[in-house]
Amino acid sequence: MTVHHWPDLHRGLDELRRVSRRQVVFTWDPGHRPELWLIEEYLPEIRRLEHARFTPLSTVVEALGAHTVLPFGIPHDFTDGFQIAYWRRPEFYLDALIRQASSTFAQLPPSVVEPAIARLRADLASGAWRRRHADLLEQESVDYGYRLLVAGDR
């Protein structure tokens, strides 16, 4: 989950091919829907930031020469801690330390993040978030567009 930080995608993928007969890249498809509720309801600024820095999935697939593209559903209890990991545990987004672990949150100014988190806190306290997202609370995993790309030896 780093290709969006690479200054030269093609050079990085060439290096993967140089050092390994098989390459696996974990990335995100910016064209995928649905989006995380946090983006839709609280922080649409994340959408602009992520779409500006993520290469379209088709471009990464082609540049890597991927022969396999696998959906990567995010389990409800995912422990990785990246931005999407807490889709069913919204209270985690209230924790500033958890938000600091996300490059997206780190790039957004507090003047944007703090009011959004205050709205989330109020919706959690009132039960509004749980009423709107009762369907999510029953799901074991969600596909938010993360993909494993496999290239090279099968």
Residue 16 pLDDT class (50, 70, 90 cuts): very high
Q: What does the alpha-carbon distance between residue 68 and residue 25 come to, in Å, rounded to a whole number?
A: 11
Lowest mean pLDDT among 4-8, 13-17, 71-75: 4-8
Q: What does the alpha-carbon distance between residue 10 and residue 13 come to, in Å, rounded to a whole number?
A: 5
Whether pLDDT at 154 is above 80: no
The answer for residues whose C-beta is within 8 angstroms of residue 49's C-beta and 6 or more apart is 104, 107, 108
Segments in 87-143 forming alpha helices (H): 96-100, 103-107, 110-126, 128-132
Residue 70, number of CB atoms within 10 A of its CB: 13
Q: Which of residues 52 and 94 earns the better pLDDT score?
A: 94
Q: What is the mean pLDDT of the chain?
A: 94
